[in-house]
Amino acid sequence: MPCTTILVGRLASNDGSTMIARTDDGHFDDKKLIVVKPKDQPKTYRSVISHVEIKLPPKPLRYTSCPSVNLEHGIWPATGINAANVGMTATETISSNPRVLGADPLVVRKKAEKEGEPEIPGGIGEEDIVTLVLPYIRSAREGVVRLGSLLEQYGTYESNGIAFNDENEIWWLETIGGHHWIAKRVGDEEVVVMPNQFGLDNFDFADAYGEQRTCMCSADLKEFMERNSLDLNTDGVFNPRWAFGSRRHHDHIYNTPRAWYMGRYLTPTRFRWDGPNADLTPESDNIPWAFVPEKKVTVEDVTFLLSSHYEGTPYDPYAASAEKKGIYRPIGINRTGVTGLCQIRSGVPDAVKGVEWICFASTTFGAFLPVYVNVPKMPEYLSNVTERVSTEDFYWTTRMLGALADPCYGASIMHIERYQNAIACRGREILSRYDREIAAGADVSLLERANEELCAMAKEETDACLSRVLRAACERMRNGYKRSDN
């Protein structure tokens, strides 16, 4: 999936929380938010795409999931937080190169060539990873260990990046070829930006093969590199991006501009981002994987970036007049199915540490709704989504909102901005109120009521915005005519 990921360390955030967030940019994949109970987790998992079968450990944890509504091509859970307050997002499709993929080919399912011959299953992929990992881990670090072992045993048929977070740590794992992997702990004071490219630009092999404080990798990664001459560094400092990633023209129009815009927002004065003497441009290959932001980062900063389309630059596709508008792939894009922000908070009771901020469809026109994850089920407004278009659920109403607002952007963006702000303000007020009640000793069952209140608020605001945007779109239909026009 061509997605965009942001990771925020606990000291980089305004409230000490860790945040991992990603736009799931499929092909208009209809999505919903559900809770998977331990009794509903399979004992043996079979992939729809690769047909690999994997026996799962006993005693899974409850977790949230954003599966596809149509399961024809698999579950595709996208993102979630489990009962141990560990979050996960999977996956960010990343780039690689022929040297890596030739040395360790992707594990693709091979159909039987003749009747009676067995097929050869493929490896694991984005369809599978959340289901295989999230219910069985109690820390972000454990997520890396479990996923790494699965990759080494079963392989993968695609190149992906996966994030895990708990209250204290964020870990980022990237696959290398079919069976190898590399992972790094995000610095507490750092924010990571990932736009569909191999991201890691530094790595400590001594730590990975030693204490593993901040680095981990497949056991033979260094030997694999040496055997296949993958290290391209000339100064003795290892850069994983050069070894395992790509530097193509396609990257310069599809990927690096997104990293440039996010870095420009996070560190506006540390680098020269614009003009003929810019330090970093939308097509630079050396945009850092991680930044120390110039101010504390909020949920609203993350949701703005994941909704952005190069506002304030010559590349904004909605700009009235811009010489280069639309030449780069924006972050907020039409085909997004769901965007999930997994926030694990500090300084609050364990029952309310995990909050998932959910936005369906195009983030440019949608709103991020917070919900508590420590519940046995999600409200129907989020979970009861079918393939039938309806204004009774958050997914389809948001999808309609974007489709109506896009053609009349100038007339509708005011309504969209007010709507997004209303959801954010009212959502935070509701969270704060229920946080206080739980801290005062209220039973955790109260969180179901909190989520119902959050969804009722979201439906009220979304329906009202849809009405206003529909009116703006109707007024600008091309078959409009008044006798007074003549």
Catalytic amino acids? 3
Per DSSP, helices labelled H in 168-289 are 205-208, 221-227, 240-244, 249-254, 256-266
* 271: CB partners within 8 A, 6+ apart: 263, 264, 278, 279, 280
423: alpha, beta or left? (left if phi > 0; alpha if psi -120 to 50): alpha
* 471: CB partners within 8 A, 6+ apart: none
Picking from 179, 158, 161, 180, the residue whose alpha carbon sits closest to that of residue 171 is 161
- SS3 of 114-125: the string is CCCCCCECCCEC
| C-alpha–C-alpha distance, residues 26 and 327, integer Å | 20
Contact between residue 173 and residue 183 where contact means Cβ atoms under 8 Å apart: yes
| C-alpha–C-alpha distance, residues 410 and 207, integer Å | 52
Give the total residue count for the chain: 486
Q: What number of other Cβ atoms are within 10 A of residue 99's Cβ?
A: 14
Q: Return the amino acid letter for 267.
A: T
Give the single-character DSSP code of 478. Answer: T
* 63: CB partners within 8 A, 6+ apart: 35, 36, 80, 81, 82, 83, 134, 135
